Amino acid sequence: MTATAGIPLVNAWNEWDTLREVVVGSADGACFEPTEPGNRPQVRRHKGAQFPTGRKSAEAVARANEELNGLARLLESRAVTVRRPGPHDFSRPLRTPHFDVENQYCAVCPRDVLITLGNEIVEATMSRRARYFEYEPYRHLVYEYWEADPRVGWTVAPKPTMSDAMYRQDFWEWPIEERHRRMHASEFCVGQTEVVFDAADMSRFGRDILVQESMTTNRAGIRWLKRTLEPKGFRVHPVHFPLDYFPSHIDCTFVPLRPGLILANPDRPISQDELSMFTDNGWELIQAPEPVLTNDEMPPYCQSSKWLSMNVLSLSPSTVICEEQEKSLQDLLADQGFEVLTVPFRNVFEYGGSLHCATWDIRRDGTREDYFP
């Protein structure tokens, strides 16, 4: 691969400009997410049941891969170049100077690990032990882009220790009133002593980057992003959704679709003072309709909420990909003037995400705009 004179090989300034190249995740070798200080996976509808460990079944992997491959085919039919992660032994336990973990997770959700900010690739610190080395299945791609085009930047965030002391384990036991109170102080399962963030807590709006404070991104993480990105001309805005008691990853909560339009989660409104940035600049928020599945109907090993329904992937400011069964969302988007493409994706849900999570955009058209002058 060699660089073309025009647009850099790596170029994405927002979530909606016309998509040219993207990484689609893979379920190959996927394991169950282990119980660890930053994660207490539960079997849905069976609170207290032992959560499985080790490899996912060959059938579960095949079902997810079929849908991931279907997404890849749809993208290719729309002239988008699709790249895939390389192999990785997720069943291998990890031991660092600070922790042991029994197995790793998967390469289904590149969105969580990597983000393209303009012409730069940023590898997140990650917030869970099982995901410490999750950048590895994508490194061959990072090297390829970086070698092929001198305009491509590459920044790796400082790795936290992920030692016991980094976490606040009692978080998992807080009664609801306590949760409510601490929520407003934005205290979750990660403390503030180290820099911690997952890439999927960010959302790109040209010069402006939103970062959700969450179970997977702390204030030190946001400070690091601010100090790293602001000298490069970005503005970093911490955002909060005070009714989400277990916030993690912004793309089922606040989803920009095109300049001026956001798909918002009706259960998780953005905090009032953070809303004004949008309303003052003429942005409209439309509420996502009720998802087809209830939380109880989500797959048993899925740790995400029913709001995976709104985890759509934009092909352009006028075309969006939606999960095949989410009819009311498809209708809403069509009413807004979008061309809506659909793919089945429910078998990917238990790997922590839907269409946006399972992708990482490498190149979109467009350049850095100021949508909030």
What is the contact surface with ligand ARG in residues (CB under 6 A)? Answer: 109, 111-112, 200, 248-249, 251-252, 304-305, 307, 352-353, 357
The residue (of 269 and 353) whose beta carbon lies closer to ligand ARG is: 353
CA distance 235 to 267: 27
356 is a catalytic site residue: no
The residue (of 109 and 236) whose beta carbon lies closer to ligand ARG is: 109
The residue (of 149 and 251) whose beta carbon lies closer to ligand ARG is: 251
106 is a catalytic site residue: no
At 150, list the tokens. Answer: 């001198």
At 201, list the tokens. Answer: 């807590």
Beta carbon of residue 215, minimum distance to ligand ARG (angstroms, whole number): 8
Instruction: Centre a 10 Å sphere on the Cβ of residue 77 and count the other Cβ atoms it contains.
Output: 9
Region class of 29: left (phi > 0), else alpha (psi between -120 and 50), else beta = left
Contact 28/107 with Cβ under 8 angstroms? yes
The residue (of 245 and 372) whose beta carbon lies closer to ligand ARG is: 245
Beta carbon of residue 136, minimum distance to ligand ARG (angstroms, whole number): 18
Beta carbon of residue 103, minimum distance to ligand ARG (angstroms, whole number): 19
The residue (of 39 and 103) whose beta carbon lies closer to ligand ARG is: 39
Beta carbon of residue 90, minimum distance to ligand ARG (angstroms, whole number): 16
The backbone torsions φ and ψ at residue 49, rounded to the nearest 5 degrees and listed phi first, read -65, 150
The residue (of 9 and 157) whose beta carbon lies closer to ligand ARG is: 157
Contact 362/85 with Cβ under 8 angstroms? no
At 25, list the tokens. Answer: 């995740």
**Segments of 196-350 assigned E as strands:** 202-205, 208-212, 235-239, 254-258, 261-264, 284-287, 313-316, 319-323, 339-343
Letter for the amino acid at 64?
A
Q: Which of 31, 189, 252, 357 is catalytic?
A: 357
Hunting for tokens 């390469």 — which residue is that? 107
What's the sign of the alpha-carbon dihedral 149, 150, 151, 154? positive
At 243, list the tokens. Answer: 């009714």
Q: Which helix (H) or strand (E) holds 362?
A: strand 359-364
Beta carbon of residue 359, minimum distance to ligand ARG (angstroms, whole number): 10
Q: Which of 240, 249, 322, 361 is catalytic?
A: 249
Q: Which of 149, 198, 201, 361 is catalytic?
A: 198
Beta carbon of residue 109, minimum distance to ligand ARG (angstroms, whole number): 5
109 is a catalytic site residue: no
Hunting for tokens 């909560």 — which residue is that? 253
Catalytic residues: 198, 249, 357
